[in-house]
Amino acid sequence: MNKNISDEKLPRFIDNQKLRNMGVIFLIAQIFAILFSFFVSIPLGFILVLLFILSLLFFKNASEEFFYEINQYILNLSYRIKRGEQEALIKMPIGILMLNNEGDVDWVNPYMLTELSDNEIVGRKLKDIDEDLYRELENVKETDMYTIRWNEKIYQVHAQNDIHVIYLMDVTEYAQIKERYEEDRPVIGYLFFDNYDELTQGLDDRAVSSFDNMLTTYLSNWGKQHGIFYKRISDDRYFLLMDRKELRRMENERFSIIDNIRERTSKRNLPLTISIGLTYGSATFDQLADLAQNNLDLALGRGGDQAVVKPIDGDPRYYGGKTNPMEKRTRVRSRMISQAMQDIMLETDNIFVMGHKNPDMDAIGSSLGIQRIAKMHHKACWIVIDKEDLGADVTKLMAEIEKDSQISRYIISPEVAEEMVTPESLIVLVDHHKPSMSIAPNLLKKTKKNMVIDHHRRGEEFVDSPLLVYIEPYASSTAELITELFEYVPTEGDPINKIEATALLGGIIVDTNNFSLRTGSRTFDAASYLQSVGANSTLIQRMLKEDPEVYLKRSHLIETMEFVEENYAIAHGNEDVLYHPVVAAQTADTMLAMTNVEASFVITRRDSKTVGISARSLGKINVQRIMEKMGGGGHLSNAATQISDQSIEEVKQQLIDALHEYKNN
């Protein structure tokens, strides 16, 4: 052995102070034993000395051999580790890219070299070697751990910026497993025939059977084509089960089944529309079923003829909704809603009714109508109005209302309403269903009892757990819906008076643009009833008269009109001029009456931080979908949005992008 133990650095677990102490104690004990043996017998002492020397020599040889074997093991292990590191750099499926301070390639490992198409790489810019890889790695940070797609593979990327090294680990197999898992996850939903009962109620059994066979055949072919399991659970409702891959395919097709069924049934003069609600995500099947039903309700609340896809933890996606909603309201439904509303009112102490911010005649008239119904049941009903936020026509209407002390004393501000409301109070939202649009949204936080009466298509935002929801998107106005409810209210209380009837009729006239838009037979029935109870159409015309300043503002807006895409007209105001929402809405209506204008959009500054858009169409273009892309909502032909902290020019460009996206889809 040519190794000297003293020259070696012992491992910590061997070079231990406790072991040293034990060795010293053992040595001292041996010395005392030898000394003691000399006192007993001198020959015995010499024998022990000889044995002690032999044991020391044996221990020295054994320990040298032991430490030599340890060192050999460590040297061998160190060699194997270094060899393993080298083999890993060369053979493991990990790409290693080393750059210098200037971004030139200093070195790549053999695996990375095989993935690059160019072998001449040292000293060159990565952009010149492989532009696709350069683009993927351009913004990589040391704290990032993300995946990229390159050379038809998927890599997980990590960087060490201090030594300018980037690692690319091939995770294609695992990524494909994850993708297959996501594609195979279940999607459940419901398909509903919106107007099946209305279409078949006048048909005989043979015609109904023929119609059903046609629908069943089409749905069967559609289900086989997309790998969908479907089950009819009622005359007009189907349960759907599919996977994410097929859902993605249907979304790419923009749910063509909606248009196909409508077109096919229209050839039989039975234009059927369908609504679909679908959902998926990490949840139990009962939770998925509940959300699928909510999505179907959302599609129906938006007028039907569309599909709503909303994952458990995501935002809804809308498809279809290109046609005006068909009238599905019946006298029976109106009577049921009226009775349910009266029952709720009778169980309530205080009632508060409010419209949306910047209320129009429809919101004010509807509020007066609800208050009258409450009075007919001898219930106190307070109308919440912010008098500082009124347009010219509503200001004139409020001046007329102030003349009637029996009504005006029940008109309160949002601040007073917040002091009066209790957990047992009832809040009635009219002409809107989004809490954020309410005049006093804090009222909804102080009580759980609320109801909604609206004619706008339902959006994702909605009040929590309403006691009653009456949303009919095909109706001309909320005033029309409330007017019909009077037919089923007991006449024991004071009947509707002239100013209330005038306000309700004014709401119908404004929302239908003098009965030219969204007008049905029920609209004229409601208007006829209001006329019969004293509505003053002359007073309405006086209230709707424009101030010259408003007319000039509208004319200035029209001067800025320009066409974007085909038949899309956009007008905008000046950055430093504030416009009331009514002015923008009237301008959009005026533009819509011009030649070659199918949809009109007016962009104006509402206040120092907010820019608003008023959108109108003749029905072929769904302006609601366009406004929803920008955070708003409304009707298929009447919608709006408000955007904060942006200039008019920025909002205009955002609108143009939304129009391009809508047209391309």
CA distance 329 to 345: 23
Q: Which two tokens stand for residue 400?
A: 């007329």
Task: Determine the pLDDT at residue 322.
Answer: 67
Strands (E), 389-486: 411-412, 426-430, 449-454, 468-471
Bridge partners, 105 (sequence order): 99
Alpha helices in 267-327 (DSSP H): 285-301
CA distance 387 to 390: 6
What average pLDDT does range 509-519 have in this prediction? 82
What average pLDDT does range 69-97 have in this prediction? 75
Task: Determine the pLDDT at residue 2.
Answer: 47
Number of neighbouring beta carbons within 10 Å of residue 38: 14
Q: pLDDT band at 178, cuts 50/70/90?
A: confident
Task: Determine the pLDDT at residue 152.
Answer: 81
The rounded mean pLDDT for the chain is: 84
Q: pLDDT band at 1, cuts 50/70/90?
A: very low
Model confidence pLDDT, tens digit, residues 541-564: 888 877 788 788 888 999 999 998
Burial class (CB in 10 A: 0-12, 13-18, 19+), 521: exposed
What average pLDDT does range 201-227 have in this prediction? 90
Task: Determine the pLDDT at residue 96.
Answer: 82
Task: Determine the pLDDT at residue 4.
Answer: 44
What average pLDDT does range 601-609 have in this prediction? 91
Neighbouring residues of 358: CB distance < 8 A, sequence distance ≥ 6? 389, 390, 391, 580, 581, 582
Q: pLDDT band at 164, cuts 50/70/90?
A: confident
Model confidence pLDDT, tens digit, residues 137-162: 776 665 567 788 888 888 888 888 77
Lowest mean pLDDT among 308-317, 411-420, 586-595, 632-641: 632-641
Model confidence pLDDT, tens digit, residues 255-264: 999 989 988 8
Q: pLDDT band at 3, cuts 50/70/90?
A: very low
CATH architecture label of 92-175: 2-Layer Sandwich (3.30)
pTM exceeds 0.75 for this model = no
Residue 573 confidence (pLDDT) above 60: yes
Q: pLDDT band at 415, cuts 50/70/90?
A: very high
Task: Determine the pLDDT at residue 489.
Answer: 84
Q: pLDDT band at 493, cuts 50/70/90?
A: low
What average pLDDT does range 272-281 have in this prediction? 92
Percent of the chain with pLDDT over 70: 93
Q: What is the DSSP letter of 631?
A: T
What average pLDDT does range 303-324 have in this prediction? 83
What average pLDDT does range 191-206 have in this prediction? 86
Domain boundaries, the chain: 5-90, 92-175, 193-320, 331-543, 548-664
Query: What angle in degrees, to the nearest 10, is found between the helix axes of 498-511 and 521-532?
Result: 160
Domain 331-543 has CATH 3.40.50.300: no
Task: Determine the pLDDT at residue 247.
Answer: 93
CA distance 216 to 208: 12
Residue 639: in which H helix or E strand, if any?
strand 638-644
Residue 646 confidence (pLDDT) above 80: yes
Q: Which CATH number fits domain 548-664: 3.40.50.2300, 3.60.9.10, 3.10.310.30, 3.50.50.60?
A: 3.10.310.30
Q: pLDDT band at 8, cuts 50/70/90?
A: very low
In this structure, the dihedral spanned by the alpha carbons of residues 574, 579, 581 and 587, taken in order and rounded to 10 degrees, is: -60
What average pLDDT does range 599-613 have in this prediction? 91
What average pLDDT does range 606-611 have in this prediction? 88
Task: Determine the pLDDT at residue 7.
Answer: 45
Model confidence pLDDT, tens digit, residues 423-439: 889 999 999 988 988 99
Lowest mean pLDDT among 453-457, 587-591, 654-658: 453-457
What average pLDDT does range 621-647 have in this prediction? 86
User: Quick one: CA dihedral 495, 499, 500, 506, positive or negative?
Assistant: positive
Bridge partners, 449 (sequence order): 426
Phi-psi region of 193 (alpha: psi -120 to 50; beta: other; left: phi over 0): beta
Task: Determine the pLDDT at residue 661.
Answer: 85
Question: Following DSSP, what letter does each residue of 531-547 receive, concatenated?
Answer: HHTT--HHHHHHHTPPP
Task: Determine the pLDDT at residue 5.
Answer: 42
Q: pLDDT band at 11, cuts 50/70/90?
A: low
Model confidence pLDDT, tens digit, residues 316-359: 888 887 665 555 556 677 888 888 898 899 888 889 999 998 88
CB 479, CB 521: distance < 8 Å: no
Phi-psi region of 386 (alpha: psi -120 to 50; beta: other; left: phi over 0): beta
CB 583, CB 602: distance < 8 Å: no
CA distance 360 to 456: 14
CB 638, CB 615: distance < 8 Å: yes
Q: pLDDT band at 461, cuts 50/70/90?
A: confident
Furthest-apart CA atoms within the chain: distance in Å: 145
